[in-house]
Each structure stands twice: as structure tokens, then as C-alpha cells.
């Protein structure tokens, strides 16, 4: 059974659901390899992985390192149609970006400690101090300014462009991260913890604070 071009990942999920319903794929068993499924469905590996990303975010499949993908749960019909699928695709993409940002932004701490001027960090500190009203709009803007400024202070153009190129997805992540008042206040305090360590040129302390920040971002995404 081949799939049509339109909304390929959605059609892949539908075909996998049909195969589960027909008994071709059984709960608790390993799915065929990517190579087999790509050939069977007539899609690219990228499209297949988009479908797997949605299914994994829902706990329907589980990826075992070196052991393929295990089918854990049946696919509910409501996942396949409407806004729910779009939301899950977006959430899965955001989570992957957050993982990438965590790696990148922890990695730039040493560069920031080395290259940032005291006046740069003090200016960022003033920005945080002025945002005590903690409105959603203000804190969303300050969140981008904070993380973008750290990339800028690294003096590494690739890191700066990474933040710029992923701005749209980063904005979507902010919609999750600042959806509640307690989220706003928590993120604000996490930024202060990172900056305080940077002002002290405490690279290890700043890395730990940055790691905690991203752990909490992922927790806040699950609290929506």
C-alpha cells in the first residue's frame, strides 16, 4: 500500500493504525525496520521518522537503543485527525529543539565567561530586574533577549545564527513555557540563577543552572 504525497506523515500513521487493527503489527512486538517500512510505504525516512516522532511522544511506540521500535499501545482515531495531530507534531518538534538548545547553550557558557564584558552581563542583569511585572508578553520577549544575548556574548557567529534560524520554533516553545503565572516566575528565577553564576565567572555553576532551566522547561511543557 503506497501513500499519496499530501500530509505524508499523517497517512503513515493511518496505515500503521490499519496494520495494528488488522493484526499485521502486534502490541508488545518490534515494528519492521525503517528500511522495510520505507520500501513498503513508499515514503522517505524523514517522513517515516516524523510519524514515529508523533507516536513516540504519545507513548504508542518506544525506541530501544540497538533494538528497534516496540509497539506499546494502539493508535486512537482522534490522534490521526484534526488539531491534536498538529499539536503533537509541534510539541515533538519543540522538545527536540529544546534538547538541541540545551546542548548548545550549556556549551557556550565557557565562551560567555571568557568573552562577555562585565558591562554586557550587568546590562542583562538590569533587564531582568526591570521585568518584575512578569507579564506574559514582557517575559516572552525577555526570554528571547536573555538567551540570544548569551549566544551573542559568545562571539561565535554560528551560535548566534542558530538562535536566529530557530526563532519561530523557539517562539512556540515560549507559548508553552509561559502559559501560567507560576511558569513565568519560575523561568525568571532560573534566568537570574544563570546570570548570577556568569557574573561570578562561575562556569560550572552557570552550566548547572542552565541544565536545571531546560529540565524545568520540559516539565512546564508537560504541565499544559
Mean pLDDT confidence for 23-40:
91
Q: What pLDDT score was predicted for residue 4?
A: 39
Using an 8 Å Cβ cutoff, are 166 and 105 in contact? no
Q: What is the pLDDT of residues 144-167, one digit of tens each?
A: 888 989 999 999 999 888 888 776
* Claim: this prediction has a pTM higher than 0.75: no
pLDDT in tens, 84-130: 555 666 677 777 888 888 999 999 999 999 999 999 999 999 888 87
For domain 96-221, the question of CATH label 1.20.120.530 is answered with: yes
**Residue 128's CB: how many other CB atoms inside 10 A?**
18
Average pLDDT rounded to a whole number, residues 70-79: 77
Q: Report the distance separating Cα 8 and Cα 52, nearest Å.
A: 12
148: how many CB neighbours lie within 10 A of its CB?
16
* Domain range annotation of the chain: 8-80, 96-221
Which DSSP string do the residues of 96-165 spell out, in sequence order? Answer: HHHHHHHHHHHHTHHHHHHH--HHHHHHHHHHHHHTTT--HHHHHHHHHHHHHHHHHHTT-HHHHHHHHH
68: β partners: 64
Give the architecture-level CATH label for domain 8-80. Answer: Orthogonal Bundle (1.10)
The residue among 15 and 205 whose pLDDT is bigger is 205
Asked if the domains at 8-80 and 96-221 fall in one CATH topology, the answer is no
Amino acid at each position: 500500500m503506497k501513500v499519496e504525497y499530501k500530509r505524508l506523515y499523517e497517512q503513515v500513521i493511518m496505515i500503521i493504525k490499519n496494520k495494528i487493527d488488522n493484526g499485521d503489527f502486534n502490541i508488545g512486538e518490534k515494528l519492521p525496520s525503517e528500511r522495510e517500512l520505507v520500501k513498503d510505504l513508499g515514503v522517505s525516512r524523514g517522513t517515516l521518522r516524523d510519524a514515529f516522532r508523533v507516536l513516540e511522544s504519545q507513548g504508542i511506540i518506544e525506541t530501544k537503543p540497538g533494538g528497534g521500535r516496540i509497539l506499546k499501545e494502539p493508535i486512537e482515531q482522534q490522534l490521526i485527525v484534526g488539531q491534536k495531530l498538529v499539536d503533537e507534531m509541534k510539541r515533538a518538534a519543540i522538545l527536540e529543539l529544546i534538547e538541541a538548545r540545551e546542548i548548545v547553550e550549556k556549551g557556550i557558557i565557557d565562551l560567555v565567561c571568557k568573552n562577555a564584558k562585565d558591562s554586557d552581563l550587568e546590562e542583562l542583569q538590569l533587564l531582568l530586574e526591570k521585568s518584575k511585572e512578569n507579564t506574559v508578553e514582557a517575559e516572552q520577549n525577555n526570554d528571547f533577549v536573555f538567551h540570544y544575548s548569551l549566544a551573542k556574548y559568545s562571539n561565535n557567529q554560528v551560535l548566534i545564527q542558530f538562535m536566529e534560524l530557530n526563532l519561530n520554533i523557539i517562539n512556540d516553545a515560549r507559548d508553552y513555557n509561559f502559559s501560567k503565572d507560576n511558569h513565568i516566575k519560575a523561568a525568571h528565577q532560573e534566568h537570574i540563577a544563570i546570570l548570577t553564576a556568569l557574573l561570578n565567572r562561575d562556569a560550572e555553576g552557570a552550566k548547572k543552572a542552565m541544565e536545571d532551566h531546560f529540565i524545568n522547561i520540559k516539565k512546564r511543557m508537560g504541565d499544559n
